[in-house]
Chain A
Amino acid sequence: MRKILIANRGEIAVRIIRACRDLQIATVAVYSDCDRAARHVRMADEAVAIGGNPPSDSYLRIDRIVDAANATGAHGVHPGYGFLAENEEFAAACRDAGLTFIGPRPEAIALMGSKTAARAAAMAAGVDVVPGTETPLTADAGEDEIARIADRIGYPVMVKAVAGGGGKGMRVVGSRDELSGAVRAARSEAGAAFGDSAIYLERRLSRPRHIEVQVLADHHGTVLPFVERECSIQRRHQKVVEESPSAIVSVDLRTRLTAAAASVAASVGYTNAGTMEFLLDAAGRFYFLEMNTRLQVEHPVTEMVTGVDLVEWQIRIARGEPLTIDPAQSLTPRGHAIECRVYAEDPDSGFLPSPGRITDVRPPSGPGIRDDSGVEAGDEVPVYYDALISKLVAWGSSRQQAVSRMRRAVAEYDVRGIRTTVPFFRWLLDQPVFRDAAFDTEFLDTLLQQRRGKSFSEPESSLREVALIAAALHASRATASRPRGLAESAWTQQAKREILQ
């Protein structure tokens, strides 16, 4: 494989280009109209336009992406995450066009993409699943039947979309009289989002942790699990901070968790990179939740504590190499890693997206810091795609050191022109619940609810005074003849023009 097309954009496209460079593989970027000069396009060796701004007209166009691969003579296609990463038709279209899809076989994507089929596979492999329905409840399923199943599972019960993901088509039901309304709402949401209104029911565990296990599997029968990732820090079912290892997983629990993940992967003949998600209850019991048949956003924390380049291995597996990583390396964490997902969102306006031009950005660096970013100063965050602009990762020899380094890094991180979640992380890292790692999947929503209406960007009083001083000097420069030593920049002139508009 000497040339790879990356069917994605943003930070993950940049990450994959870097892995290709490390392997001396040429890269092809694809782009929509508004991404013509995006970072991933500037970095790649070649670039091909694939259509208009809405994803359905570009990054989701299987035909155009396959054409672009053929036209550029690419041998492989890496889908990244999101967009077409878990689309079995895309994987099949690549295979049919003689391209190597860097991911699992289309059959494995299809099987594990159905939540109920994935649950069945886990049970067949001897792994517990959250108690619930084993077959999809299609539109034919009657209300009485669903109510009987819910009674058997016990309330509170979760209603979930079979084709679901990202919290869509998901409802929590506290009692029988809420059930039919929740089923209707979940069905219509799932139908709109995934084109499939089938649902299933699952017991709602009380304040569980979300723990997941990364696996790599080659084409020679080797399945290798990795140290777990802790992904309990979620806002409205979206992960915002991930860690590895989990502060509460013992060596014994790790052995059982990773063995369970490996046996599910092996039982379905899985290949390439994938992740098994589990819920862990307060008693230390774990239940298989679902499988993601792709590279995860949070893969860097695993890389930091194991020293394994997961993207590089995805490519090596896809070109037929056997896995030669020692399980002792993949299962023994070296230190601790934390990732903060930096989004172009305004935490002070209920995390509203904040697209626009990044006028300046200074990413943090120094010991233990890695910034997987998709943007630079001057880049535009378009309104059409996910607002993730960078993943900030801190490594330390202990969790405490990793947290200290992350605090230093988010204090250094300076992004101007758009709002980002950086001020939110400055707050979160100081919360006792975070410091003590005493969280579950609901703690952040609860905490945010409690501080509703309060700003994350509250400057301390000395900084306020400095701001006044700076503002006065800035204004004196703007009104008086240019004071000595303070030449008015083009930027200032631009700022004044914008203010006047």
Chain B
Amino acid sequence: MTFEIEQDGTRRRVTVRQAGDAWVVEIDGREVEVSVVERAGRWSMLVGPVDGPAKAGQDNPDVVSGFSRTSSYEVAFEPGAGGELIVHVNGVAVPVTIDQPGLSKPWAKAARQRRGRGAGDGATGDAPRTIVAPMPGRIVKVLVKPDEVVAARQPLVVVEAMKMENELRAPRAGIVAEVRVAEGASVEANTVLVVLR
């Protein structure tokens, strides 16, 4: 079974096939052998060379050093924002998006459409046009005016919630179309605060 998996802007082809009790996984033409045991929602994953250490290590130096012997990882999964799958490897969160070519996967398509989070500077694309309050709070400061040009990640509004002041930033570069709140106002979760165009 072959998947296209996107991670941090890079798409990689990953093929999986069963080999006895274990799995052989191929990334960009290189193969590793993987054993998986699940314990209460966590995977113990052993990753090593398919035919012993001798064959390991042709192209990518990272992979050579990483998988020339059997390495042990602990892995867990959770759904991320916008259809991503968050893979926790040894406690470090790695967000990925999975596609299986040739199969219509509504969730994968939706994920592609909703993506844009963390898409880098100057990103425009599908990133949302509205900035909403993530939780109930009070507007401490409005930092932009209508028609102002803003860069991606530029702070737009300061909201006080959970006893802290929080900056809400532009998800992408754009022009402020509307500011819908005033300083001092109390807002509910999901109230639209600023609209970009």
Q: A residues touching B (Cβ–Cβ < 8 Å)?
A: 166, 192, 236, 238, 345, 348-353, 355, 359-360, 383-387, 411-414, 416-417, 423, 453, 455, 457, 459, 461-476, 479-480, 483-487, 489, 491-492, 495-496, 498-500
Contact = CB atoms under 8 A, between A and B. Distances in A.
B76 A360 contact: yes
Given A463-B90, A489-B41, A471 B96 contact: yes
Contacts of A349: 169
B45 interface: yes
Nearest to A410: B91
Given A466-B45, A472-B5, A499-B107, A483 B66 contact: no
Nearest to B94: A467
A353 B134 contact: yes
A492 B85 CA distance: 11
Nearest to B2: A472
Contacts, number: 178
A238 B165 CA distance: 11
Interface in B33-57: 34, 36-38, 41, 43, 45, 47
Given A351-B166, A470-B75, A499-B83, A479 B96 contact: no
Given A465-B66, A466-B47, A352 B107 contact: no
| The 4 A-B residue pairs with the shortest CB-CB distance in the complex, in nearest-first order | A467-B94, A462-B66, A472-B14, A383-B135
30 contacts: A166-B163, A345-B164, A353-B162, A359-B78, A360-B76, A383-B189, A384-B136, A385-B163, A386-B162, A386-B163, A387-B162, A387-B164, A463-B90, A463-B92, A465-B27, A466-B45, A466-B75, A470-B73, A470-B89, A471-B5, A472-B1, A472-B3, A472-B16, A472-B25, A473-B16, A475-B100, A479-B100, A485-B37, A495-B85, A500-B106
Nearest to A382: B162
- Interface centre among A350, A455, A464, A489, by most chain B C-beta atoms within 10 angstroms, is A464
B162 A385 contact: yes
A412 B91 contact: yes
B145 interface: no
Given A359-B78, A383-B161, A469 B47 contact: yes
Contacts of B37: 485
Given A352-B134, A355-B162, A471-B87, A416 B78 contact: yes
Nearest to B168: A352
B27 A489 contact: no
B128 to A, nearest CB: 14
B1 A480 contact: yes
B78 A417 contact: yes
B142 to A, nearest CB: 15
Contact of B96 (A348, A353, A359, A468): A468
B113 interface: no
A251 B52 CA distance: 59
Contacts of B66: 461-462, 465-466
Contact of B92 (A360, A384, A459): A459
Interface string B161-197: 1111111110000000000000010000100000000
B7 A467 contact: yes
Given A383-B161, A462-B65, A486-B36, A475 B98 contact: yes
A492 B77 contact: yes
B5 to A, nearest CB: 5
Nearest to B100: A479
Contacts of A466: 45, 47, 66, 73, 75, 89
